[in-house]
């Protein structure tokens, strides 16, 4: 219940910070949405003002399930990672939710400013943004280095040029075999 309330407040806070998003949900007032996080399910109804209110729902109008790909991509790809969730339910509601979620924009500085002041909030936000970018770059470089090691040093994977050459040789072998088979059939055929 506490987690649901926190989730609801967070969603509604993001809607308030992103102009036009709650208004887009007004036409779906009364519809229910379930966020199925495997370990927990959060059910919400879209209120008349376009914001979410927690409620118990037997059969939701839309269900959103994060996948492993979403969870791993979210810190690095942000809203772009949302395409990796599983969606089911009313297509019109899902389309609106998709548009709304893509428009959500957390104004971190505005939330930090009352706690630490405007200048400190700006600097903390810049530091966090740069730290996340550096972390994403480090993971990207690590992945690149690991794949290069597996190809070049450990020889656990084939290089792209080797795979392409192998595929060409297989195609050539298949063509040669087909020509040889055709010659053998001509030689074995009784002269007519």
Distance CA 97, CA 56 (A): 20
Is this prediction's pTM over 0.75?
no
pLDDT for residue 133: 84
Could you tell me if 14 and 91 lie in one domain? yes
Average pLDDT on 89-101 reads 87
Could you tell me if 98 and 17 lie in one domain? yes
Could you tell me if 61 and 141 lie in one domain? no
Could you tell me if 128 and 189 lie in one domain? no
In sequence order, what are the residues at sequence separation of 6 or more whose Cβ sits closer than 8 angstroms to the Cβ of residue 80? Answer: 73
pLDDT for residue 74: 59
Could you tell me if 48 and 17 lie in one domain? yes
Could you tell me if 98 and 46 lie in one domain? yes
Could you tell me if 42 and 125 lie in one domain? no
Task: pLDDT band for 143, please (50, 70, 90 cuts).
Answer: confident
pLDDT tens, residue by residue, 39-85: 788 889 999 999 998 888 888 999 988 776 666 665 555 556 566 67
Could you tell me if 11 and 98 lie in one domain? yes
Could you tell me if 26 and 96 lie in one domain? yes
Q: What is the CATH number of the domain that holds 60?
A: 3.30.1050.10
In sequence order, what are the residues at sequence separation of 6 or more whose Cβ sits closer than 8 angstroms to the Cβ of residue 88? Answer: 62, 63, 65, 94
Could you tell me if 187 and 122 lie in one domain? no
Could you tell me if 152 and 164 lie in one domain? no
Residue in this structure with the two tokens 């939710």, named with its chain if needed: 97
Strand partners, 83: none
Which structural domain, as residue segments, surrounds residue 146?
A: 107-157
pLDDT tens, residue by residue, 154-164: 777 777 788 88
Residue 21 has φ and ψ, to the nearest 5°, of -75, -45
Could you tell me if 133 and 163 lie in one domain? no
Number of domains in the chain: 3
Model confidence at 36: pLDDT above 70: yes
**Per-residue exposure over 85-107, b if at least 16 CB sit within 10 Å of its own CB, e if not:** bebebbeebbebbeebbeebeee
**Smallest Cα–Cα separation from 124: which of 138, 135, 113, 136?**
113
């Amino acid at each position: 219940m506490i987690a649901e309330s926190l989730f609801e407040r967070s969603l509604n806070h993001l809607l308030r910070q992103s102009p036009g998003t709650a208004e887009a949900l007004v036409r779906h007032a009364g519809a229910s949405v379930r966020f199925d996080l495997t370990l927990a399910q959060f059910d919400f109804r879209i209120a008349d003002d376009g914001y979410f209110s927690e409620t118990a729902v037997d059969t939701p109008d839309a269900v959103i399930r994060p996948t492993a790909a979403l969870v791993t991509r979210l810190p690095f790809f942000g809203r772009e990672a949302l395409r990796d969730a599983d969606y089911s339910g009313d297509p019109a509601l899902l389309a609106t939710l998709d548009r709304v979620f893509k428009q959500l924009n957390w104004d971190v500085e505005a939330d930090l400013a009352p706690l630490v002041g405007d200048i400190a909030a700006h600097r903390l936000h810049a530091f966090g943004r740069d730290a996340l970018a550096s972390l994403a770059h480090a993971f990207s470089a690590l992945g690149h280095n690991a794949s290069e090691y597996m190809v070049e040093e450990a020889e656990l994977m084939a290089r792209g040029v080797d795979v392409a050459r192998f595929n060409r040789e297989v195609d050539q072998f298949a063509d040669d075999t087909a020509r040889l088979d055709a010659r053998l059939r001509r030689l074995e055929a009784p002269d007519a």
